[in-house]
Amino acid sequence: DIQMTQSPASLSASLGETISIECRASEDIYSNLAWYQQKSGKSPQLLIYAANRLQDGVPSRFSGSGSGTQYSLKISGMQPEDEGDYFCLQGSKFPFTFGSGTKLEIK
């Protein structure tokens, strides 16, 4: 299985701050990577797919980048509603695998 190593495990950011979350795959996943946000008690929301494509309705302060085995999610200007858990998903090879998650809080 492809291992997805996500960092950091937790992050505290001030309002307006720009933050990044990383996912590293154990092998090339050819940009077949998605980023999700999950708020407490809610279902995951797709933010980014294909490494850098913004899902419809997602604010433009969210962006994704990367290729090969290294990917990142950037939030440009932290907002209060961005608090939550974030995780990556590789959709390149069965079985699909997830990163371990990042808990993002407001400082």
Partner 1 sequence: EVQLQESGPGLVKPSQSLSLTCSVTGYSITSNYWGWIRKFPGNKMEWMGYISYSGSTSYNPSLKSRISITRDTSKNQFFLQLNSVTTEDTATYYCAKKKLTGSWYFDFWGPGTMVTVSS
Residues that bind partner 1 (CB under 8 A): 1, 32, 34, 41-44, 46, 49-50, 53, 55, 85, 87, 89, 91-92, 94-98, 100-101
CB closer to partner 1, 63 vs 91: 91
Q: Edge-to-edge strand order for the sheet containing 70-76?
A: 4-7, 18-25, 70-76, 62-67
Measured from the CB of residue 11, what is the shortest distance to partner 1 in angstroms?
Answer: 14
DSSP state, residue 27 = S
Q: Please state the closest distance from residue 98 (CB atom) to partner 1, in A.
A: 4
Q: DSSP 3-state assignment of 81? A: helix
SS3 2: coil
Nearest distance, CB of residue 16 and partner 1, angstroms = 27
